Amino acid sequence: MAVVDPRTVGKALTAIVLVKAQPKGLPGLLDALKKLDDIYEVYDVTGQYYSILKIRTSGTERLSKIIDEIGQIEGVAGTETVIVLRTVKEELKVKL
């Protein structure tokens, strides 16, 4: 597996998006989220949010469009977005 610095391929902005959902819209929500461009990780989680997403994209304008796309998915009740200022640690391997 090759590891590429996202900035070198135009993905300088990383954001975490927390997704709130309406129970009636849950069946296809995760499938719809994982199909969107620039969403690199989708987590089905417990708590007040239904899903947590890791987005890598070119900048805030593109991020805004992605958030708008997420908001149009059936079952999405709202989102909260956090822009990553710097990555302090990111492990891609699992230590045995």
| Residue 3 to residue 72: CA distance in whole angstroms | 32
Mind listing the pLDDT tens digit for each residue in 42-86?
Answer: 999 999 999 999 999 999 999 999 999 999 999 999 999 999 999
Spell out the domain ranges in the chain: 8-83
* Distance spanning both ends of the chain, measured CA to CA: 18
The Cα diameter of the chain in Å comes to 41
Average pLDDT, the chain: 92
- Does the domain at 8-83 match CATH 3.10.50.30? Answer given as no
